A and B are shown apart, each in its own frame.
Chain A
Amino acid sequence: MTYLIRRLEFFAITLWAALTMNFIIPRVMPGSPAEAMLVRFHGRASPQTIRTIEIALGFHTDESLLQQYGEYLWNMAHLNLGTSLTFFPSSVGKAIMVGLPWTVGLVGLSTVIAFVLGTLVGMLSAWRRGGILDGALPTVFIMVSAFPYFWIALVAILIFSFTLNWFPLGFGYDLHQHIELSWDFIGNAIWHGFLPALTIVITSIGGWILTMRNTMITTLAEDYVKMARAKGLSPVRIMFMYAGRNAILPNLTGFAMSLGFVISGAILVEIVFNYPGLGYMLLQAVNNEDFALMQGLFLLITVAVLVAVLLADFLTALLDPRTRAAD
């Protein structure tokens, strides 16, 4: 019970800290929405015009900071994220909703694939100590993980899309298609997402393999595994149900966090592949000083991480009674 309260406290405080940081950053950093509007009007807008638009964007510069803060928290709580400057006059919520499915689909899916595949390979490699897999894997994946993933992406595009023509150049689906629930569309989306997903999987799978291998080796030396072997249980059962299950527990939080970071991690991949997700949107928001959009995306990322971590924590607690007792 204390454990649960502690985690909820952590959740609340982190959320508050992130929200507050979100509020402060645009206000302490140089540059203002008024400046941003100037660029739109090539310096020819009258002060009245700028004022009208500032109000339309939800900036009330003559309110006290505390008032603004209260209003801001109120708006965030109601998911009223304001109007985006980049996508003016679209609301931030609407802009985000356009990109969200693509980012979650591409980066989310490839993160899950990397984790599942990496964990399985790591488990196998630990189980068959001294095999070819076990001997070569660590070195290979240490090196692969050290490649900048945007660089792998650039090279992959050059080889597989541009030169060999195996995969399409850019975009999330065919230009003439509509987003719909049909096999045709889904197949097309998968085909477009394959190469970006591959670069994410290749560069992130190494970490999962190595951590899983290492925890698995430690777990395999535990008494209960030896017991299970002595009892003559089937090796597959021992590998998955005894050693594997326990070895995977410490990795769950890491996995949850990486899931939460899906949106932010995708920035470079999306830019290189011209993918219609949230990553490039974040870069745009920063470059255009589009604070409303930036705050909306930050809120989304923070909440996603927190929920994922919380879920992982509860799952770990459920599967491993020791955590509940420990600090």
Chain B
Amino acid sequence: MLLLTACGGSSPAANVQRQAGGTVTIDNESGTTWTCDFNPYNGAVNFLSFGTVYEPLVYDNLLTDKKTPYLASAYSWSSDNKTLTVTIRSGVQWSDGQPFSADDVLFSFQLLKKNSSLDLQSAWSLLSDVQEQGTDKIVFTFQSAAVPDFYQVAAQTPIVPKHIWSTLSDPTAAVPKPVGTGPFTMSDCTPQNIKYLKNPTYWQKGLPYIQEVDYPAFTDNDPANQFLAAGNADWGGQFIPNIQTYYLNKDKTHNHYWFPPIDNINIWINQTRPLLSDKAVRQAMAFGIDRSKVSQNGEYGYEPAGNQTGVLTPTFSSWVDQSQLNKYGYKFDPNKAAQVLQAAGYTKGSDGIYADSSGKRLSFDIISISGYTDWTASLQVVAQNLKSMGIEIKEHDLNQNDYANDLYTGNYQLAYGSLSTSPGPSPFYELRNTLDSQTTADIGQIAGGDYERYKNPSVDALFDQFAASTDSAKQHQLMSQIQKSMLEDVPVIPVTEGVAWYEYSTKSIGGWPTQSDPFSAPAPWNLPDWGVTLIHLYKTS
């Protein structure tokens, strides 16, 4: 039995007296004006309530995988790692004064079972049953041993009050006045701005310090960046071009940023297409791309170069199998790329592009999302790299829906982008959804992961073993074997690492997460981390 207390690292040190009061203004381009809907199960608006108003059972830090009990005061796995028993915290109140209980937790999960469109984390594709045990325990039974799935169920599912939600005729409808257990309550909403106020009866006593949070709506990146650079907001969450000039220089003492990597931006390689099904072609491409230059020219260096193991660095550096990575190399090396191709029987044509023995040229289309200029700029570098080495790629920009449809159904040769599922607190989550053929589907069918249709039963088995283990050493050893398949088979090419965009000003607010104290994933759109960030913040002047 693993027991946890509320005094874990994710709560601000309770003995330090902070001045109460102050306002934090968030600056995060969302693309719409506010609809004033705070339904935590609506994927388009859940970022406005999950973390501040609604809370999960356990807070699991996306960057460090450190778990802090929230609405659960303790939890334990059964010996076969298929059953999770959660003890519900006592003394918690809903913001309308009603007491919080295990009934609310049970109700929330039953609600998701009944309304699959609300189940954003697909919790019920993992669970087989949820039962109440006594008055303060909930027992989750998983379909198979599923230690990592704890994250989706306990850490990513918001709990709602039964006494309100059981009376709603349509749980998908808008929730204009949310009632939650979180540190803030929604006090006022206009299409332009949402105002949150401190929840005076919050269960973490003395928190939050901040009295008010403002969340203005930005429909486009540039106005949002101007607003932040002008000093009108404290906390930013988007890409800022040339941040040194644009943001830092505007207030050198107070403006800061930190962009920790949270997922990979890959070249997805459709394994079912001719030529691309040849490992040599994929390996050659991995050698032929100058990832640092892509990172520098496409992303101003803010999104660091990726590595072929698919394990994010520095976020998950402890998981990287450095010796294997060194063995395979995959440093930018056009000569090596040419050797690989020639060894596999490809010859360079008069146009400078390699072709196989039947004359089929290594020329591919790559799909990207229109309007993502950083990707377009990145692909310009990739295309130049590969062209000079002897492979031709042509970019096709699609709108988001068409892009997603082509990617999920496997209707592409190459695709640039990241997984659409939310990342997780260890490399397991992203790599499973990238490589495990149990997540994929036939060409033409919609795949939830493994968009490149990589099929390797021994790798699939590695993920199952990982999921059944709570032993860190064993998990690391399994992760090494998974990395080997990334290096040997090159199912996808991680080019750069997507980051949590995070800019902050210490002018009037302190207590921000930093690289040396990563107590939460720092972007305002990291859920539910933003709620954790907010309870650490305090007024400095």
Contacts and interface: CB of A to CB of B under 8 A. Distances in A.
Check A-B contact in the complex, CB < 8 A: yes
Interface of A: 30-31, 35-36, 38-46, 48-49, 52-53, 56, 86-90, 95, 98-99, 157, 161-162, 169-173, 175-179, 270-274, 276, 280, 284, 287-289
Given A43-B420, A46-B116, A88-B44, A276 B33 contact: yes
A270 B193 CA distance: 17
B219 interface: yes
B42 interface: yes
Contacts of B226: 157, 161-162, 169-170
B433 to A, nearest CB: 10
Contact of B402 (A30, A44, A52): A30
Interface string B7-49: 0000000000000000000000001110101000011100000
A183 B33 CA distance: 25
Contacts of A280: 219-220
B195 interface: yes
B404 interface: yes
B32 A173 contact: no
Chain A's interface: helix, strand, loop or mixed, by majority? loop
B404 A89 contact: no
Contacts of B117: 41, 45, 49, 52-53
Nearest to A46: B116
Interface string B390-403: 00000000011110
Contacts of B222: 272
Contacts of A46: 116
Given A43-B404, A49-B116, A287 B122 contact: no
Chain B interface residue bracket vs A: 35 or more
Contact of B223 (A53, A98, A169, A175): A169
B436 to A, nearest CB: 14
Given A42-B421, A42-B448, A89-B173, A287 B230 contact: no
B217 interface: yes
Contacts of A86: 32, 44
B446 interface: yes
A99 B399 contact: no
Nearest to B419: A42
A226 B222 CA distance: 57
Given A162-B230, A169-B226, A170-B227, A35 B37 contact: no
Nearest to B170: A89
Interface of B: 31-33, 35, 37, 42-44, 116-117, 120, 122, 125, 172-174, 188, 190-193, 195, 214, 216-220, 222-224, 226-227, 229-230, 232, 371, 399-402, 404-405, 408, 420-421, 446-449
B420 A175 contact: no
Given A44-B448, A49-B116, A52-B117, A169 B401 contact: no
B470 to A, nearest CB: 26
Contact of B399 (A31, A42, A44, A95): A31
A171 B195 CA distance: 16
Contacts of A31: 399, 401-402, 405
Nearest to B29: A274
A114 to B, nearest CB: 24
Contacts of B43: 40-41
List of 3 A-B pairs having minimum Cβ-Cβ separation, nearest first: A274-B223, A42-B420, A43-B408
B404 A276 contact: no
A175 B214 contact: yes
A33 to B, nearest CB: 9
Nearest to A87: B35
Contacts of A53: 117
Contacts of B44: 40, 86, 88
A175 B192 contact: yes
A167 to B, nearest CB: 12
A44 B400 CA distance: 16
A289 to B, nearest CB: 5
A274 B220 contact: yes
A171 to B, nearest CB: 6
Nearest to A90: B35
B219 A274 contact: yes
Given A90-B37, A90-B174, A175-B216, A35 B405 contact: yes
21 contacts: A38-B408, A40-B44, A42-B448, A44-B125, A49-B117, A52-B117, A53-B117, A86-B44, A88-B42, A90-B35, A98-B33, A169-B227, A170-B227, A173-B192, A176-B193, A177-B190, A179-B190, A272-B222, A274-B223, A287-B399, A288-B400
A157 B402 CA distance: 35
Nearest to B172: A89
Contacts of B42: 88-89
Contacts of A88: 42, 44
A98 to B, nearest CB: 5
Nearest to A172: B192
A276 B405 contact: no
A276 B116 contact: no
B322 to A, nearest CB: 32
Nearest to B422: A42
B404 A39 contact: yes
B401 A289 contact: yes
Contacts of B229: 162
B401 A39 contact: yes
Contacts of B191: 98-99, 276
Which of A30, A35, A157 is most buried by chain B, counting CB atoms within 10 A of its CB?
A35
A170 B217 CA distance: 10
A308 B400 CA distance: 36
Contacts of A90: 35, 37, 174
A95 B421 CA distance: 28
Contacts of A157: 226
Which of A30, A173, A176 is most buried by chain B, counting CB atoms within 10 A of its CB?
A176
A184 B163 CA distance: 41
B349 to A, nearest CB: 34
A244 B462 CA distance: 85
B13 to A, nearest CB: 32
Contact of B116 (A48, A170, A175, A178): A48
A25 B192 CA distance: 31
A178 B402 CA distance: 39
Given A56-B172, A89-B173, A43 B399 contact: no
Nearest to A94: B35
A289 B172 CA distance: 21
